[in-house]
Amino acid sequence: MRTFFKLVIASLLLGLAGAAAAASDRGTPEEAVAMVKKVIDDIKKDGKEKVIQAIQAGSARYKDRDLYVFISGMDGVTRANGANPQIAGKNLNDIKDADGKPIGKERFELARTKGKGWQEYRWPDPLTKEVRKKATYLEKYEDLVVSCGIYKD
């Protein structure tokens, strides 16, 4: 009987360790906010173009697990995207999520009216390629909207 309980406890501990490891594969809301603030600080220090080029080049400074930065102008044109650099230069004002929600218009309205905040929608996860719930933190800085999102269960 004692051996049985040891096995049960060992199994529970392994399960908890596995869950903790899986959770660390994902960014947190606090990390997304910190990433946006780091980008804005770097823009203030190094200039827009240098930071935009670093994001476009896939700099590890602006990418962490499933966290990646994307920057748009208030005009809706993408300046940089850490997950998909090919969309730089494209106007995403009319972009919709997987359910047809107009997230581009919503994002720029939030930036225009509040200056910062969270936006929720459904988007492909860069790690699994599956469409999942996503919450993106954004801040307006000058004529830019700097964003970083987390994927939710």
pLDDT in tens, 5-33: 343 333 333 333 333 334 578 999 999 99
Q: What is the DSSP letter of 45?
A: H
Please state at what angle helix 29-46 crosses helix 48-56, rounded to 10 degrees. 130
Is residue 18 included in any domain, yes or no? no
Is residue 76 included in any domain, yes or no? yes
Number of domains observed in the structure of the chain? 1
| Domain at 60, CATH number | 3.30.450.20
Is residue 135 included in any domain, yes or no? yes
Compute the average pLDDT of residues 77-105: 95
**Does 141 score more than 60 pLDDT?**
yes
Please report the pLDDT score of residue 1 as a whole number: 52
Each as own residue / partner, the long-range contacts of residues 37-42 (CB below 8 Å, 24 or more positions apart, any chain) are: 37/139, 38/62, 39/69, 39/71, 39/146, 39/148, 40/139, 40/141, 40/146
CA distance 74 to 57: 22
Is residue 136 included in any domain, yes or no? yes
Element (H, E) at 103: helix 103-114
Least confident stretch, 11-25, 42-56, 74-88, 96-110: 11-25
82 near 110, Cβ under 8 Å? Answer: no
Please report the pLDDT score of residue 126 as a whole number: 81
Which domain does 114 fall in, by range? 27-152
Question: What's the mean pLDDT when you consider all of the chain?
Answer: 87
Per-residue pLDDT tens digits for 58-73: 999 999 999 999 999 9
Compute the average pLDDT of residues 101-124: 96
Please report the pLDDT score of residue 5 as a whole number: 36
Of 27, 66, 43, the closest CA to residue 145 belongs to 43
Backbone angles phi, psi at 134, to 5 degrees: -135, 140
pTM: 0.82
Is residue 17 included in any domain, yes or no? no
